[in-house]
Structure 1
Amino acid sequence: MRRILFDSPISRLGYLYATLVGIIWGFVWSTGRVERRGGLIVFRGLPGWAFARGGSCVGGCYLTDQNVSEEVLEHEVVHKRQWQRYGMVFPVLYFLAGRNPLNNRFEIEAGLEKGGYLPRRR
């Protein structure tokens, strides 16, 4: 089952579908700048209800108001890779991993410090 769902043509189709959804959502609600950064399509100026926490990665899109530091974008690129690996199963796996980012394996993999969940070490 893993070979069919993860790192497969099916997961890549799911990633492309999620990216299309992210593009549509971003263009509908973004009032700010839209640009490509670090392999992501970044949509700024979205209302707070249109994304979770400081921003949300949907496929290859990052949806936010203004949370676009280099560290945050590096964190979001890891989420993009997670979308590529798991496709449309990713939201289910993310939900099952829990809302607490300190215990969520996908947030830990993306980097808690870069994601703004922990203070940066000096």
Structure 2
Amino acid sequence: MAPAARRLRASVTGILLDSPVSRLGCSFATLVGLAVGVPLSSGRIRVVGDLIVCRGLPRWAFRRGGTCVGRVYLTRHNDGPRVLRHEAVHVTQWRRYGMLMPLMYFLAGSDPLTNRFEIEAGLEEGGYR
């Protein structure tokens, strides 16, 4: 890679990744997660570390056992300690990538066994193994 291209990439990476811009994106995603989770939750809403857990949601509101949107974890009843540790890693990923997270997750593929975000969060703790 040419030096100019490296500088441009470093500049863009510094602005978008793990920056105030990405944290703002995470905050926006958290508001979206709350807008979905709070009215649809039929269970108790609780805070576990940095994670806001909305439980009792209808099955159509998330994929697999649950979905992390910003700091909000949307699930029906899949909220044991191991899963919440897995989801806490997703919160860190949201903070790092902000609103790029949905696109990057999509591009990483739907198979959790090869999706780098699920691997980083821990396949066993996420219930994939």
Aligned residue identity for 2:38: F
Aligned mates of 1:92, 1:10 — CA distance in 2: 16
1:66 maps onto 2:77 in alignment: yes
**Structure 1 runs not aligned, ≥5 long:** none
In the superposition, the TM-score normalised over structure 1's length comes to: 0.95
Partner of 2:96: 85
The structure with the largest helix share of the pair is: 2
1:47 maps onto 2:74 in alignment: no
Provide the aligned length of Structure 1 versus Structure 2. 118
* C-alpha deviation, 1:38, in angstroms: 2.7
**Structure (1 or 2) with the larger CA radius of gyration:** 2
Of 16, 19, 30 in structure 2, the residue corresponding to residue 19 of structure 1 is 30
* C-alpha deviation, 1:33, in angstroms: 0.9
- Give the alignment's Cα RMSD to 1 decimal: 0.6
In the superposition, the TM-score normalised over structure 2's length comes to: 0.90
Identical positions, percent: 61
* C-alpha deviation, 1:37, in angstroms: 1.2
Which structure 1 residue ranges, 4+ long, deviate > 6 Å from structure 2? none
**Structure 2 runs not aligned, ≥5 long:** 1-11
Partner of 2:112: 101
Of 29, 42, 45 in structure 1, the residue corresponding to residue 40 of structure 2 is 29
Equivalent residue of 1:25, what SS? helix
Equivalent residue of 2:111, what SS? coil
